[in-house]
Amino acid sequence: MRIEEFDVLVVGAGLSGLRAGLELSTKWNTAIISKVFPVRSHSGAAQGGINAALGNLEEGKGDTPKSHAFDTVKGSDYLADQDVVLFMCEEAPKIVVEFESMGAPFSRLESGLIAQRPFGGAGFPRTCYAGDRTGHALLHTLNEQSVRMGVTFFDEYFVIDLFMVEGKIAGLIALDISNGELVSFRSPYIILASGGFGRIFKRSTNAMINTGDGVGAAFRAGIPMQDVEFVQFHPTTLYGTNILITEGARGEGGYLFNTKGERFMEKTAPKAMELAPRDIVARSNETEVIEGRGFEDAYVHLDLTHLGAEKIKERLPGIREISIYFAGIDPIEKPIPVQPGQHYSMGGIGTKFNGDYGQTDLPGLYTIGECSCLSVHGANRLGGNSLLETAVFGRYIGKKLIEKGLPIKPSSSEIQTAESGTIERIERMFTSWNVNSGKKPVEIREEMGETMNRNVGVYRTENELKKATITLKKLQHEFLDTQVLTEDRRFNYGLIRTLELRSMLDIAEATAFASLWRKESRGAHFRTDYPSRNDDDFLVHTMVHRGKEGLEIKTKPVKLGIFEVKERKY
């Protein structure tokens, strides 16, 4: 078995992982492990932009980091931790300037300043962008800088499990996808930046790689999942494929229409209209379809035609290409058919209540990005804040670990004992999959996705959530007897899909379980049987554990004190 040793391991080569790795590589021997080549990471799919209170537009002159923080907390339906939100928003202008200094090709105003556009839930136009391919531009920028700094990459490695020595992180076991070899990576610090888990839903904007591998590994190591009931459904995904149609399309002035030709957002958000937060717009879209005002009983129209050809070609070229190639519609001439689809996970790996941002209860293990729950998004994320979170906390955690210094490593014999035990468990699991005669992993995955879409969607009820929990428990049992059809591990993507499903089932079950527990409506979690927000009983973070009797929930207080908790109106 191959052994690799580093001062720090970063799992994931999206924006979070690259920014952390870039910071750490200035001082320490750092490795980034990724199951895909870095520029194929899902960060590249982000379209709309990155938020910062720069005030580059005339109508944004009054913007401040505190205004940005207030909008973020209000958009979160007051479940975001206010101290960490304020920190993120204060760092935002520095991060954007840093990206610019690295060569990020931001769109520009005629003055030469970075262009900014309005986004949902924002009081000022603060979203900086690179056309409608902002994530792509920033991902390539960070990858270039990482290569320049000589960061060590292990591309096409699948992280299976973590291992500990005396209650502290000591390393992880990964599968080298190319040759099927198990590799032990030893390190006293591990940063999980492995991205989201949207593929637990059948209808999602997420890349196929977003399967929650880091969340599953942390959960199996005893770290709780935090706030996983809060799943963001983007209001505008392309009907039929669920490819993302950026919020920037509405930021540039796009309108939503039903079959009656009504701009129906006037009913739910008369001031903000199409630029209300995503949870509100998604529910409005879904309501139009449910009540019979949708096209083909399935979608509504996003109309950009009034923007004109020049503006669409300049500001939304990618959206035009997507519409033409995948829907046969040129948005210069016709409206785009859109429907809500799973887009983002506000919840993720649980973090400590006190201590450094991103630190978990397992010493030496940190988490950033969509796989984590630092709780800067609370119950609903504002568009433009996800790219910001990755860079702010990637840099922050890198700097913080360097300040802490390297811990004393356990002895080689202790590490060897821990990694050997982990490898034995993995090998037994592989062997059982090769001889089992149960369902194929794809059959279990299909039923899981259908269940999540049907029962844990935009609107939720106790009856539907109970059905979901029963089905997901059944699928967990069936997974124990699942089969992998070949023993050859070289480029065995049947094995990879099975390893992904192992984590996805845990996350799906925890999501349904926490959604059933939270008997209120808050942000993206909407219970038609409990349609009101209940601050007295549920202004808390959920922490889902695996107990002896199954899943259990503990709670963690929300950090308040900067902004008063109020009713959310737009």
3-state secondary structure 516-557: HHCCCCECCECECCECCCCHHHHCEEEEEEEECCEEEEEEEE
Helix (H, G, I), strand (E, B) or coil at 271: coil
Taking only Cα atoms into account, the Rg of the chain, rounded to an integer number of angstroms, comes to 23
DSSP assignment string, 160-223: EEEEEETTEEEEEEEEETTTTEEEEEE-SEEEE-----GGGSSSBSS-TT-S-HHHHHHHHTTP
Distance between CA 34 and CA 79 in Å, rounded? 31
Distance between CA 122 and CA 388 in Å, rounded? 15
Question: Per DSSP, what are the bridge partners of residue 300?
Answer: 338
Distance between CA 530 and CA 521 in Å, rounded? 6
Burial of 333 (0-12, 13-18, 19+ CB in 10 A): exposed
Distance between CA 151 and CA 24 in Å, rounded? 9
| Per-residue DSSP letter, 359 | B
Are 39 and 415 in contact, with CB atoms under 8 Å apart? no
Distance between CA 452 and CA 468 in Å, rounded? 7
Distance between CA 368 and CA 376 in Å, rounded? 11
Calculated CA dihedral for residues 556, 545, 548, 211, nearest 10 degrees:
170
Helix (H, G, I), strand (E, B) or coil at 34: strand
In the block, residue with structure tokens 């107990």? 547
Is residue 250 annotated as part of the catalytic site, yes or no?
A: no
Distance between CA 432 and CA 409 in Å, rounded? 34
Strand order in the sheet with 157-165: 2-5, 181-186, 168-176, 157-165
Both structure tokens of 189: 């610090």
Both structure tokens of 290: 């449910």
Distance between CA 333 and CA 321 in Å, rounded? 13
Distance between CA 73 and CA 560 in Å, rounded? 10
| Per-residue DSSP letter, 4 | E
Q: Of the candidates 267, 143, 167, which has an alpha carbon nearest to the alpha carbon of residue 222?
A: 167
In the chain the first and final C-alpha atoms are separated, in Å, by 58
Q: What angle do CA 471, 474, 477 make, to 5 degrees?
A: 155
Which position among 278, 445, 533, 568 bears the catalytic label? 278
Distance between CA 527 and CA 535 in Å, rounded? 15
Calculated CA dihedral for residues 32, 33, 34, 38, nearest 10 degrees:
20
Question: Per DSSP, what are the bridge partners of residue 494?
Answer: none
Q: Hey, which residues are catalytic here?
A: 278
